[in-house]
Amino acid sequence: MDKFELRREILRERSIMDTDDRRESARRIRETLLDQPWVQMAGLVACYWSTGTEPATEGLVFALWKHGATVILPVLRDDDDLDWAVYDGPDTLAPGRHGIMEPVDTRRGVDTIRTAALVIVPALAVDPHSGVRLGRGGGSYDRALARVGPNVPTVALLNEGELRPGVPAEPHDQRVRYAALPSGIRVIPVKEST
């Protein structure tokens, strides 16, 4: 299955998920993450504001912020690269491209993600063996994750069943080190560069 087909399949599966199941899945993903000491200890967290049928991140962003972390959220640039701005509460967001809510705060630049202690990313699927992530197809996170150091935890948020072998990989694809699922955290085995 190529990237295009897999994207379409997962978007379809997400679209037919029952509202209660979707809410429960997002709640368990959030609890899973917030239970991790390395999440609780991160002072600067790069996260994202969920859209459409993605597992909801509003509660996660709010909890991290309440807990005292500085949370930065992506601002999608015209070239599909990601700028970053600080989340400062629910009233400080406004819709950007694709209708995704973005902080109205000053843009801090594409390199701001380099300073994050934890990077939480959206994905449609992740390969459990390689950590290769399937995104929306803009290559935004391929560029953003390339700026993140090898020791910084990178986590994709997935519904059950979206961690699946056979995600097509291209040379530019960046990997994640963890997947957060409703059933718990999965660690992706570390691989030397291929």
Ligand X SMILES: Nc1nc2c(c(=O)[nH]1)N(C=O)[C@@H](CNc1ccc(C(=O)N[C@@H](CCC(=O)O)C(=O)O)cc1)CN2
Ligand Y SMILES: Nc1ncnc2c1ncn2[C@@H]1O[C@H](COP(=O)(O)OP(=O)(O)OP(=O)(O)O)[C@@H](O)[C@H]1O
Interacting positions 94-153 with ligand X (CB under 6 A): 98, 100, 122, 135-136, 138, 140-141
Q: What count of Cα atoms within 13 Å lies in the side-chain half-sphere of residue 95?
A: 5
Interacting positions 63-92 with ligand X (CB under 6 A): 74, 76, 82
Interacting positions 10-49 with ligand X (CB under 6 A): 48-49
Nearer Cβ to ligand X (40/139) = 139
String marking each residue 92-131 x if it binds ligand Y according to CB under 6 A: ----------------------------------------
Residue 96, marked binder: no
Q: In whole angstroms, how far apart are CA 80 and each of 92, 141, 161, 171?
A: 22, 9, 28, 19
Candidate residues 74, 103, 135, 153; the one interacting with ligand Y per rule CB under 6 A: 135
String marking each residue 37-56 x if it binds ligand Y according to CB under 6 A: --------------------
Smallest distance, Å, CB 118 to ligand Y? 18
> Is 139 among the residues that bind ligand Y (CB under 6 A)?
yes
Smallest distance, Å, CB 130 to ligand Y? 13
Residues lying near ligand X in the complex (CB under 6 A) = 48-52, 54, 74, 76, 82, 98, 100, 122, 135-136, 138, 140-141
